[in-house]
Amino acid sequence: MDSVGIDTAKGGFAYSWEEAKLLSETMQFPLIIRPSFTLGGTGCSVAYNSEEYRSLVEKEICSDDKVALTVLATVVSTPTKNRAIIDAGSKVLTSDLFGMNDHGSIVNFPELRITQLSEEHGTIMSEQNTNLEIGQKIQIIPNHACVVTNMLNEVNIITEEKQIKKVKVIARGKVW
């Protein structure tokens, strides 16, 4: 849309009130707050002023270690020092951006961006060296969790005891 001159909604990620406050200063109210990483939790909220915004953000912000769902991807190629290819594409990460710039957030690598997706692969870019190696596993917080569970036959659940449990997705491919 940007390339043809059509305005699109601004958006971004915030992991703390301070980051959310800075982000809100670049936009105008009303603001839609969408906790990207909830499963069965709250949906979108609308803040019409700064007091509502702060209240909603503080209730809905979730740190990486509290996220309910991540995608475990493998680096399959590093064609240049600032680019890497992973084995997760639009079938798992979704091409939906929801006003965000990237196709997910890479846990522990805030400087890396998932900039492009094919059906089976994603492209990670960085201003500097990615420091990723072929075979390395990375965790990605997807923009939209529904797509992840709809496209996989099974998911791995990490229990409170830190045990990994495989669970079959019985609704796989069953869209309404």
Provide the residue type at 147 as one letter: V
Provide the residue type at 16 as one letter: S
Instruction: Go through the domains of the chain in sequence order and give each one's CATH number.
Output: 2-65 (3.30.1490.20), 71-168 (2.40.37.20)
* Alpha helix stretches (DSSP H) within the chain: 17-24, 50-60, 90-93, 145-151
Residues 6+ apart with CB under 8 A from 143: 36, 93, 94, 96, 97, 98, 100, 103, 104
d(CA 169, CA 172) in angstroms, rounded, equals: 5
What is residue 64's predicted lDDT score, i.e. its pLDDT?
A: 65
Q: Which residues pair with 45 in a beta bridge?
A: 33
What is residue 38's predicted lDDT score, i.e. its pLDDT?
A: 46
What is residue 41's predicted lDDT score, i.e. its pLDDT?
A: 46
Residues of the chain with pLDDT under 70: 35-43, 59-66, 98-99, 173-176
What CA–CA distances, in Å, run from 132 to 28, 120, 125, 137? 38, 19, 11, 9
d(CA 166, CA 101) in angstroms, rounded, equals: 32
State pLDDT tens for residues 87-128. Answer: 999 988 988 876 678 898 898 898 999 999 999 999 999 999
